[in-house]
């Protein structure tokens, strides 16, 4: 398990806590479930959550599981940056983000976001922003495993923004990521989160 943890820091209303986690080969849901409980605060009236789960079919094919890989150092840095951006845009209490690596069977959660705030509008808007940014910027790759084969999934949003991702990285991080990206390109892989959040009416 790879963690990044900041806080708590008092802002006069809510204690601010940010936690980002990559769960390596975790089969149970307890770690993600605890994140929602940890987001509760008597000072905050809203907790917005998002869970991305493995579907049982894709374009008529029966799905057995999803398998995720990540460039961990850069993935953690990206998650921290996303959470920091969310804090600068909305008034938030806690932000908890977890993404599983390895096998995620049908029906289980691969990515989880929980955000608490005094007001629901901030929590809801920030939650959508965070999951959308995870999809577009975090170097996590997904393979879909079917009953009759498997395929690495490509995410065009990640491809379009991969140069922005390299900004602020050390030379070694860029070189390491470039090697990983080349491997992923051969797999026709890219960012692993293939989930969508519906826009508000």
How high is the pLDDT of residue 116? 95
Q: Is the pLDDT of residue 10 over 50?
A: no
Whole-angstrom CA distances from 89 to 52, 85, 125, 165 are 24, 6, 10, 20
Which phi and psi (to 5°) does residue 26 adopt?
Answer: -90, 130
Phi, psi of 80 (to 5 degrees): -60, -40
DSSP string, 163-177: HHHHTT--HHHHHHH
With contact defined as beta carbons under 8 Å apart, do 97 and 133 qualify? no
Q: Was 87 annotated as part of a binding site? A: no
119 marked as part of a ligand binding site: yes
- Does the annotation list 69 as a binding residue? no
CB 108 within 8 A of CB 32: no
Instruction: Tell me the per-residue pLDDT of 23-73, one tens digit each, with 9 for 90 and over.
Output: 765 445 667 778 878 888 888 999 999 999 999 999 899 999 999 999 888
pLDDT confidence band for 164 (50 / 70 / 90)? low
Longest dimension (CA), the chain: 56
Q: Is 142 annotated as a binding residue?
A: yes
Q: Please report the pLDDT score of residue 86 as a whole number.
A: 97
Which of 39-48, 91-100, 124-133, 189-198 bottoms out in mean pLDDT, i.e. has the lowest?
189-198
As given in the structure block, the two tokens for residue 109 are 């959660």
- Give pLDDT tens digits for 69-99: 998 888 999 999 999 999 999 999 999 999 9
Instruction: Kindly indicate the confidence band of residue 163, based on its pLDDT and cuts at 50, 70 and 90.
Output: low
Question: What pLDDT is attached to residue 40?
Answer: 84
- The mean pLDDT of 185-194, rounded to a whole number, is 41
Structural domains of the chain, ranges and CATH numbers in brackets: 2-187 (3.90.1170.40)
In 3D, which of 76, 94, 64 has the Cα closest to residue 24? 76
* Residue 100 marked as a ligand binder: no
Residue 188 annotated as lining a ligand binding site: no
Q: Which of 13-17, 124-128, 140-144, 172-176 has the highest mean pLDDT?
A: 124-128
């Amino acid at each position: 398990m790879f963690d990044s943890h900041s806080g708590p820091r008092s802002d006069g209303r809510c204690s601010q806590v940010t936690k980002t986690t990559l769960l390596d080969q975790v089969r149970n849901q307890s770690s993600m479930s605890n994140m929602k409980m940890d987001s509760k605060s008597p000072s905050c009236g809203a907790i917005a959550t998002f869970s991305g789960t493995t579907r049982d079919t894709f374009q008529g094919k029966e799905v057995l599981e999803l398998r995720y890989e990540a460039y961990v150092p850069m993935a953690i840095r990206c998650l921290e940056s996303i959470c920091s951006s969310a804090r600068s845009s909305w008034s938030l209490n806690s932000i908890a983000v977890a993404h599983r690596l390895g096998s995620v069977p049908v029906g289980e959660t691969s990515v989880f976001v929980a955000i608490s705030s005094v007001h629901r509008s901030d929590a809801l808007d920030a939650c959508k922003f965070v999951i959308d940014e995870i999809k577009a910027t975090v170097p996590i790759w997904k393979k879909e495993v079917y009953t009759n084969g498997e395929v690495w999934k490509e995410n065009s949003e990640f491809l379009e923004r991969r140069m922005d991702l390299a900004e602020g990285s050390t030379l070694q991080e860029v070189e390491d990521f470039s090697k990983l990206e080349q491997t992923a390109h051969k797999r026709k892989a890219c960012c692993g989160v293939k989930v969508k959040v519906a826009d508000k009416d």
